[in-house]
C-alpha cells in the first residue's frame, strides 16, 4: 500500500488535489495496489465525493465539540468521509505524548483508522502502547530528500523497526525520500507493508510516471 501525503503543496491543494486523486485512483485500479490519498482537512469532502479511494486526513486535534477556534475536530473529518488520519507527523507533532494519546483516543472514538509516525526507534516503542492501525518510521532528516531515502540510508533501522512492530502485530509503513520502485521493494523486503510518499509524487513534473514507477515495487 502507498500513502500519498499531499501536505500543503500547491499541487496537493484544492482543485489540484482532486486532479491528483483521479490519477491515483486510475493507477490503483490498474495496478491493484492500494493507494490512500492523505489530504488537508479542507479537501476531504471533495476528495471523497470525487473518488472511490479511501481518503485520509493529515491531522486531527485532541478536542471535542466546543470552543476550539481553528482546530481540526475529529467529528468534522468523519462527517466529510475520511476513513483514517495521520497523527504525530514530524511536520505536525503534538506538544506532549498525552496530547497524542488523547488525539488517538478521539480518532478511535469517532471510528477513524490511525497511522502514528515515529521519528526513531524509542518513539516507535512508545507508540506501541497506543495500538494504532499502522505505525510509520519516518526519520525527519530524510523527509523530502532529493538525494537518498530511508530505504537506502537506514535499512538496518527499518529491520529493527520491523522487529518491534511484529512483536505487537502492527503493520509498519516507512517513509522519507521514497522515490523509486527499488526503495519500495527494499522496504517490503525488510518487512514493511507499505510506504508513505509525498514530494516524489505530489511535486513531480510528471506524477503519473512517478506513481507508475513506485507501484512496480509491489509487483
Nearer to ligand G3P, 51 or 90 (CB): 90
Decide if 159 contacts 191 (C-beta within 8 A). yes
Residues 140, 102 contacting (CB under 8 angstroms): no
Among residues 89, 104, 123, 210, the one annotated as catalytic is: 89
One of 12, 74, 175, 217 touching ligand G3P (CB under 6 A):
175
> Which of the residues 103 through 142 are near ligand G3P (CB under 6 A)?
138
Does 85 sit near ligand G3P (CB under 6 A)?
A: no
C-alpha to C-alpha distance for 187 and 41, rounded to whole angstroms: 29
Chain residues 198-217 in contact with ligand G3P, contact rule CB under 6 A: 198-200
Size of the site for ligand G3P (CB under 6 A): 14
- Residue 209 CB contacts under 8 Å (≥ 6 apart), including other chains: none
Are residues 9 and 19 in contact, defined by beta-carbon separation less than 8 angstroms? no
- 35 interacts with ligand G3P by CB under 6 A: no
- Which region among 15-23, 46-54, 124-132, 176-184 touches ligand G3P (by CB under 6 A)? 176-184
Q: Rounded CA gap, 18 and 46, in Å?
A: 7
Q: 112 and 74 in contact (C-beta within 8 Å)?
A: yes
92 annotated active-site: no
Annotated active-site residue 138? The verdict is: yes
Give burial (CB, 10 Å; 0-12/13-18/19+) of 150: buried
Based on the shown chain and the rule CB under 6 A, indicate whether residue 28 belongs to the binding site for ligand G3P: no
Positions that interact with ligand G3P (CB under 6 A): 5, 89, 138, 143-144, 175-178, 196-200
Return the active site residues: 89, 138
Amino acid at each position: 500500500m502507498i500513502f500519498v501525503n499531499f501536505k500543503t503543496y500547491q499541487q496537493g491543494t484544492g482543485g489540484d488535489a482532486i486532479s491528483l486523486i483521479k490519477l491515483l485512483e486510475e493507477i490503483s485500479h490498474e495496478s491493484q495496489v492500494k493507494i490512500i490519498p492523505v489530504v488537508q482537512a479542507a479537501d476531504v469532502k471533495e476528495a471523497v465525493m470525487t473518488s472511490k479511494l479511501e481518503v485520509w486526513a493529515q491531522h486531527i486535534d485532541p478536542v471535542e465539540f466546543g470552543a476550539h477556534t481553528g482546530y481540526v475536530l475529529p467529528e468534522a473529518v468523519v462527517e466529510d468521509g475520511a476513513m483514517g488520519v495521520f497523527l504525530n507527523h514530524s511536520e505536525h507533532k503534538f506538544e506532549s505524548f498525552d496530547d497524542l494519546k488523547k488525539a488517538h483516543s478521539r480518532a478511535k472514538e469517532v471510528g477513524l483508522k490511525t497511522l502514528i509516525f515515529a521519528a526513531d526507534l524509542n518513539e516507535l516503542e512508545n507508540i506501541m502502547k497506543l495500538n494504532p492501525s499502522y505505525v510509520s518510521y519516518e526519520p525527519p532528516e530524510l523527509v523530502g530528500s532529493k538525494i537518498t531515502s530511508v530505504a537506502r540510508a537506514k535499512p538496518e533501522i527499518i529491520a529493527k523497526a520491523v522487529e518491534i512492530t511484529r512483536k505487537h502485530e502492527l503493520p509498519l509503513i516507512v517513509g522519507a525520500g521514497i522515490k523509486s520502485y527499488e526503495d519500495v521493494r527494499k522496504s517490503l523486503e525488510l518487512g514493511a507493508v507499505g510506504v508513505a510518499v509525498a514530494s516524489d509524487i505530489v511535486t513531480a513534473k510528471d506524477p503519473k510516471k512517478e506513481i507508475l514507477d513506485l507501484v512496480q515495487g509491489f509487483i
